[in-house]
Amino acid sequence: MGRLTGTLLRRGAAQATWLVAAMLIGMAALSGTASAEQPKPWELGFQPAATPITQRIHAFHDELLVIIFLITIFVLGLLLYVIVRFNAKRNPVPSRTTHNTLIEVLWTVVPVLILVTIAIPSFKLMYYMDRVPKESMTIKVTGHQWYWTYAYPDNGGFGFDSNMVEASSLKPGQPRILTADNPLVIPVDTNIRVQVTSTDVIHSFFIPSFGVQEYAIIGRLNEAWMRVLHPGTYYGECNQICGVNHSYMPIEVRAVSKADFQKWVVDAKKKFAADAPAPGPQPKPAPDAAPKLADADATTVAGN
């Protein structure tokens, strides 16, 4: 019976190993086919990296996946060994050993070394994401319930609101709940400082393919940065529960060449200046609190 159990366990372990390997290969193959800048049905893995930040996040994720896989295989092998080696048939009288100095040192030191191995690249990645390099332009993002406002202080100071396009107004090829009427337009290969704030509740400016997620908090100005490597249309959304229309607050970003961006800026200044509301009547100045002294009275007061 013990020999049969051991044989079955060994066969099960081998099949489990092949199954895990096949799953990992399949996941890698499927994730490699995801070439769009938006989520796809039945997609596995991350969206393709569009910025250096995302490239580093993906590399760190792959390193963690290898470490987790090795730990899982080691623990599985250890469990199978214990089941086979120390079953009741082979050990009718169990050992009464309670301590083993070497093993206790190993299971304390090895996890610490693993955590240090993970922590060092993790801290480096966090510092790289947080430290805004020398920027070429700044964009201010303001969250509202439930839309975004984008401002370009370095390109004339114009700004505009960005709302979701209703499903009935979508054109062919435009994704539902992700398309915006006025997308954020940025140049490629440019360090862009993104300043994020809010006017009401907490929102979250999140673009998966950029590796950017920054909270928009009322009364606070948070910063992130991005450098898009390839032209294209990228999508994100507010992933902070901000109210009843939280799921209808998309982010659409169009990355274009620097020349095309300058052309868009010229047109955008005219378009959004025309769309801006006309200034209302100016308030009349309030009367002075005390009447002004006549010239003679002023001379008398000055003389006294």
Tens-digit pLDDT profile for residues 98-157: 888 998 999 999 999 999 999 999 999 999 998 888 888 999 999 999 999 999 999 888
Alpha-carbon distance of 201 to 216, in angstroms, equals 8
CA distances from 91 to 7, 103, 227 (A): 18, 21, 63
Kindly tell me if the per-residue pLDDT of 287 is higher than 80: no
Please report which confidence band the pLDDT of residue 294 belongs to, taking 50, 70 and 90 as the band edges.
very low
Compare 155 and 14 and report the one with higher pLDDT.
155
The per-residue pLDDT for 165 is 93
The mean-pLDDT minimum among 81-95, 165-179, 199-213, 286-300 falls in: 286-300
Compare 100 and 262 and report the one with higher pLDDT.
262
**What pLDDT digit, counting tens, does each position of 163-194 carry?**
999 998 999 988 999 999 999 999 999 999 99
Q: Please list the residues that pair with 256 across neighbouring strands.
A: 187
Compare 36 and 268 and report the one with higher pLDDT.
268
Q: Where are the beta strands (DSSP E) in the chain?
A: 137-144, 147-152, 158-162, 184-187, 192-198, 203-207, 212-216, 222-226, 232-238, 250-256
Please report which confidence band the pLDDT of residue 88 belongs to, taking 50, 70 and 90 as the band edges.
confident
Of 154, 160, 156, 158, the closest CA to residue 135 belongs to: 154
Domains of the chain: 2-31+46-90+100-130 (1.10.287.90), 137-275 (2.60.40.420)
State the average pLDDT over residues 284-302. Answer: 43
The per-residue pLDDT for 92 is 83
The per-residue pLDDT for 10 is 55
**What pLDDT digit, counting tens, does each position of 15-36 carry?**
545 544 444 444 444 443 333 4
